[in-house]
Homo-oligomer: A and B are copies of this chain.
Amino acid sequence: MAEIQFDPTTHPHRRVNPLTGEHVLVSPHRTKRPWLGQTEPPQQANLPEYDPKCYLCPGNTRAGGQQNEKYEHTTVFENDYAAVLPPPGPSAPPAPHPLLTTEPVQGGCDVICFHPRHDLTLARLPVPDIERIIEEWSSIYRKRGGQDGIKYVQIFENKGAMMGCSNPHPHGQVWSLSAVPSLPATELDNLQKYSLSTPPSTAPRGPLGRSCLLCDYVTFEVSVAQAEGRVVLKNEHWVALVPWWAVWPFEIMLLPYKRHIPSIVHLTLEEKTAFAQILSQITIRYDNLFSCSFAYSMGIHQRPVPPTTDAVADDQDEENVAHLHLHFAPPLLRSASVRKFLVGFELMAEPQRDLTPEQAATRLRDLPDVHYLNAPKTADNVSA
């Protein structure tokens, strides 16, 4: 029997996520099935600049009774219904059975309003406003990460009604915990194992001159010819790509590729500006993909907490095995209303996708870099 030649756009296959050890099943032949669903006209902006009922708008009163500042750029407050409570906490109770252990957790949950304007998401904010958000992230990460007993700080944004986010006012959250959560713990563990087991390549390196999984990965990705690769956008310091192991149709990983950077507090001023620029560019392309305010969850993975002392040089500090990166997990698949569900086989066995990461990267790469709501009107984009 003649050998069949593997074709990544035709043959079902699995790919491994080296950060988690998990697989994704790719079924590229299914993108060839007919699509009979709806397509939609571009969403128009219909949010007010200020909403008197929004609990995040400047000067308004929140459910807990507190009043927001009349903030002009960004503001931060503690979540009135936080998922964790500040110390002191109880000690662990005795386990009724070795399989039923309980680990008490303390910490705090902060909300960051990105901007006073109710209607402007990252995709529509000027780059200097995004720089202010990055400064706010750095400052909360430093403050919370320096508190007694805090072992991990998770910065994230959850955007869109489709993601269960009921308030369109641009905002993110920061949860600080006395334990490192499962997913970042697994990623850090795999970064650590890789650094100890893989001989260094010509890519940048992590602390102690050891190899870094993400430095190696991203160095390879930026070396691939653009048309065949997974890179969506790249600037002087950062690259946005659809990772080889992407689960969500238009998933993006954003990370610095020129040097090993453990956290946002390790960024130079120039790297921060480039970070703001590429965040703006990613979110504009996301909105342009289906002409809508694109829903996603975004999270920053980095060093669990920032260094508290200068006594140890960055390149000698084993905690710096972390390589700063952002995950964007957006559910939309085919239009502003047709989403992917992670259910059935995916909940019970493993994630599955039809569109390949390379096809998704091509789609995103080819989009205009001007937000559709700001684009000059042409015969093509005027809605009826």
List chain A positions with a Cβ less than 8 A from chain B: 1, 3-8, 11-16, 18, 21-23, 25, 27, 29-30, 33, 81, 83-85, 88-93, 96-97, 99-107, 152, 154, 156-158, 163-165, 173, 175, 177, 179, 181-184, 213, 216-217, 220, 224, 244, 297-299, 301, 327, 329, 339-345, 347-350, 352
Q: How far is the CA of A22 from the CA of B13 in the complex (A)?
A: 26
CB <8 Å contact, B22 and A348: no
Residues of the B chain whose Cβ atoms lie less than 8 Å from the Cβ of A301: 348
> Of B6, B97, B100, which contacts A90 at CB under 8 A?
B6
CB <8 Å contact, B349 and A83: no
A99 and B350 in contact, given A12-B106, A88-B1 (Cβ under 8 angstroms):
no
Residues of the B chain whose Cβ atoms lie less than 8 Å from the Cβ of A341: 163-164
CB pairs A–B below 8 angstroms (21 shown): A3-B90, A4-B90, A5-B90, A6-B90, A11-B89, A12-B106, A13-B105, A16-B103, A22-B182, A23-B179, A23-B182, A27-B84, A29-B85, A97-B216, A99-B216, A99-B220, A154-B345, A156-B344, A181-B345, A299-B344, A329-B343
Residues of the B chain whose Cβ atoms lie less than 8 Å from the Cβ of A342: 342
Q: How far is the CA of A85 from the CA of B4 in the complex (A)?
A: 14
> Of B157, B164, B327, B343, which contacts A158 at CB under 8 A?
B343
Residues of the B chain whose Cβ atoms lie less than 8 Å from the Cβ of A165: 343-344
Residues of the B chain whose Cβ atoms lie less than 8 Å from the Cβ of A102: 6, 8, 13-15
For the complex formed, measure the closest distance between the CB of A259 and the CB atoms of chain B, giving whole angstroms. Answer: 19
CB <8 Å contact, B183 and A348: yes
Residues of the B chain whose Cβ atoms lie less than 8 Å from the Cβ of A327: 347-348
> Of B25, B81, B84, B299, which contacts A33 at CB under 8 A?
B81
A14 and B179 in contact, given A25-B83, A158-B344 (Cβ under 8 angstroms):
yes
